[in-house]
């Protein structure tokens, strides 16, 4: 039977009331999550390339895989802590404590900046440059692509922090921007942990 029963909760199309927006629930986070799956696949491709290179392409003489561990390990800890501080910022925001939320956001952004600074220090102290050998190229490509993500994340955090001020777009009830930035930040952190594992520890 083909039934064409009318829609129960009618979808109004009056001006200003969107049937696809508020009425339907918000799936922008769902869209972002799907995008992050795609983004994660880009990293997966890079990781696969790196692991294959490493397994089958011997480095020329003098090439090494060993990297200084201290700085990247500190960086890893910094980034993991920043995930928790961001989580805290989100909690405060939902509780209506916008001031506290802003403070935690600032801490998170600061940790992100420390990570980037640490990355820069590491770059300047490495014994190899971009085109030295396959490992060097892959190292810079992977960490650089991730660093780009962190940079974007820090910018997002700054924007979100500004929006939590009085009269900004973010409030206790409407905080999509903050949640999106948080999801993205956790993703970037997760990628780093994998990257740290296969690039530095392996």
Q: Tokens 């910018």 identify what position?
A: 155
Question: Least distance (Å) from other proteins to the CB of residue 200?
Answer: 20
Considering only 46-54, 94-102, 120-128, 153-161, which stretch makes contact with other proteins by CB under 8 A? 46-54
10 binds other proteins (CB under 8 A): yes
CA angle 162, 74, 43 (to 5 degrees): 75
The nearer residue to other proteins, 7 or 70, going by C-beta atoms, is 7
62 binds other proteins (CB under 8 A): no
Of 139-168, which residues contact other proteins (CB under 8 A)?
141, 145
Q: Which two three-digit tokens encode residue 109? A: 């952004």
- Residue 110 phi/psi, 5-degree rounding, is -60, -45
64 binds other proteins (CB under 8 A): no
38 binds other proteins (CB under 8 A): yes
Question: Least distance (Å) from other proteins to the CB of residue 111?
Answer: 27
Upper half-sphere CA count for residue 141 (Cβ side, 13 Å): 16
CA angle 177, 181, 184 (to 5 degrees): 140
CA angle 101, 103, 107 (to 5 degrees): 115
7 binds other proteins (CB under 8 A): yes
9 binds other proteins (CB under 8 A): yes
Question: Least distance (Å) from other proteins to the CB of residue 197?
Answer: 19
> Could you give the dihedral angle defined by the CA atoms of residues 84, 89, 94 and 98, in that order, rounded to the nearest 10 degrees?
170
Distances (CA, A) of 163 to 79, 140, 171, 177: 23, 34, 9, 9
Sole binder of other proteins in the list 34, 68, 193, 202 (CB under 8 A): 34
What are the residues binding other proteins (CB under 8 A)? 1-11, 13-21, 24-28, 30-31, 34-35, 37-46, 48-49, 52-53, 56-60, 130-131, 133-134, 137-138, 141, 145
């Amino acid at each position: 039977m083909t039934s064409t029963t009318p829609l129960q909760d009618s979808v109004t199309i009056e001006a200003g009331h969107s049937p696809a927006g508020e009425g339907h629930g918000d799936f922008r986070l769902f869209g972002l999550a799907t995008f992050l799956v795609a983004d994660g696949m880009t990293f997966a491709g890079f990781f696969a390339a790196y692991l294959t290179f490493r397994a089958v392409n011997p480095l020329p003489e003098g090439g090494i895989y060993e990297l200084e561990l201290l700085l990247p390990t500190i960086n890893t800890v910094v980034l993991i802590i920043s995930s928790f501080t961001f989580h805290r910022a989100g909690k405060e925001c939902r509780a209506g404590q916008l001031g506290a939320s802003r403070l935690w956001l600032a801490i998170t952004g600061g940790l992100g900046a420390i990570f980037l600074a640490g990355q820069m220090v590491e770059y300047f102290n490495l014994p190899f440059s971009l085109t030295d050998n396959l490992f060097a190229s892959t190292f810079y490509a992977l960490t650089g692509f991730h660093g780009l993500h962190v940079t974007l994340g820090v910018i997002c955090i700054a924007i979100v922090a500004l929006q939590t001020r009085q009269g900004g777009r973010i409030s206790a009830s409407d905080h999509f921007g903050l949640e999106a930035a948080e999801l993205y930040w956790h993703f970037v952190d997760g990628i780093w942990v994998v990257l740290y594992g296969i690039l530095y520890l392996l």
